[in-house]
Amino acid sequence: MKLITMKIQIYLFTIFATLTLNAQQKQTRFEIKNQMISGSDEYKISESYFMGQEFEKTECLTQIQRFSLNQEMESNRQKILQKNPNAFKQLKKLTLFQNPFRAKAGFNGYGFHTLNNQVDQNLTPNNKLLDYYCGTRTYDWINGNHQGTDYILWPYPWKNMDENTMEIISASPGIIIVKKDGFSDKNCVNNGNLNWNGIVVQHSDGSTAIYMHFKKNGITSKVVGDAVDAGEFLGLAGSSGSSNTPHLHFEVRDSQNNVIDPYAGACNSMNTESWWANQENYYVPKINRISTHSSSEYNTPCPQPENTYEKVNFNAGDMLYLRIYLRDIQTGDLIQFSLKDPNNNVVSSWNWNSPWPFYATAWAFWSMEITTSWQTGIYTMSAKYYDQIYETQFAVGTQMSTAETNMANIYIYPNPADEILNLKLDNPGEKYTIFAMDGRKIDEQKINSLKTEINIQKLAAGTYILAIQSQGVTRQVKFIKK
């Protein structure tokens, strides 16, 4: 009875706790209660909240704009055929789709996107929703239906747009039949704006793929009539046209211009087979980012790059905010947290079951006060979600590097290692330093080449920090000695 009462209180809380970031994005805020917390008092949680993120759902292309786009596509086809009558016959055979996006080179986070909206299978408009999986992860409006799939940058969509995190690539071979560029890419309103940047590709069977909302001037140098291969770069995710957040709208039509939903499922009445080489599950529950911060705030106005308030170096008296950014969290999902001190001892742990409805895009935070009883050194915070463990580290009373580095990628292998740890750099480094998790310096050596063998035979079994310095900038990676 007590648990039921608590759930009722939580749901009633949402009536009073809806926060509006701006006119286009909304967060529904819930206080997290009923957590099973263990650990000493100095590591207690001060407050914790969950935020379900929602985006405005309105018309992407008007009927007039679609008519205009279809005319442009047909006109360009004819121009291509005039130059080369066999252009489309010479195309590589249509292949099953690969994902129409990828992370930029060097991205090493856990995730960078969510899938928020599918094709609406119920053609009766005005809130009559049905996706291929028989769910309602789609939308419509008074006189139309969503006809594509939306992949949204998450977290920090505007910051990640500026950093070119999501690259749009061709899902299958084809010929560019429409290319649009030069329009504003930081729009915050779905208002029927027809000035979108993007690409339309025709495949060998006559079907087409529409890639919309690209970043301005972040587009392939190829032109209408040029062939592209599967996986070839097309552009960068942005918020051009009728859009309120950086994302890719991916839309597929067959040779007769009928809408295709590339995802196969019980409620897909448009096509029976999947168009994907490896169709992703309907639910992909994961943590895209786990990090520590100086604030719980997440209220940067659109379209400004988000102020993340990320922080890794703390001292006694500071408040630490642990944030996780989620994809596809469902009712009843369990997340297990643990905090390890510099000696790798678990000093605090807690479990959280989400009692709230499904959210494709969400985040949550927990706050803790750093007291004088916290040991100096490097701490590890981890979250276990669907059997995957996500980690972040922070320092208390010592310093971890927060600067960006020009060293590009750092590779260490094997990890865990027994006798030799191999270090490989893309660009030259100056020296490496090995630290214990309590901040003690164990070893320091000059780096003379892009490939270095580090002898770790004398290290005791455990976890260590390897710091690489180049041109006054340091990047740190963790390794395990077996």
Mean pLDDT by 10 residues, the chain (482 residues): 35 32 66 82 92 80 85 96 94 95 89 96 93 96 92 96 96 98 92 90 97 97 97 97 94 96 97 96 97 88 91 95 98 96 91 95 96 92 95 87 52 85 82 81 88 91 84 76 88
What per-residue confidence (pLDDT) applies to 429? 79
Q: How many residues can be counted in the chain?
A: 482
**Full set of structural domains in the chain with CATH:** 2-51+308-396 (2.60.40.1930), 63-260 (2.70.70.10), 410-481 (2.60.40.3080)
Q: Kindly state the helix (H) or strand (E) to which residue 367 belongs, with its residue range.
A: strand 359-369
What is the reported pLDDT for 10?
35
Give the C-alpha distances (Å, rounded to integers) separating 60 from 11, 57, 158, 165, 193. 32, 9, 19, 23, 8
Give the strand pairing for 214-219 and 166-169.
unpaired
pLDDT of residue 405: 40
What does the pLDDT read at residue 438? 67
Q: Which pLDDT score, from 0 to 100, does residue 410 have?
A: 74
Q: What is the pLDDT of residue 298?
A: 79
Query: How buried is residue 189: exposed, middle or buried, by Cβ count under 10 Å (0-12/13-18/19+)?
Result: middle
Q: What is the pLDDT of residue 132?
A: 98
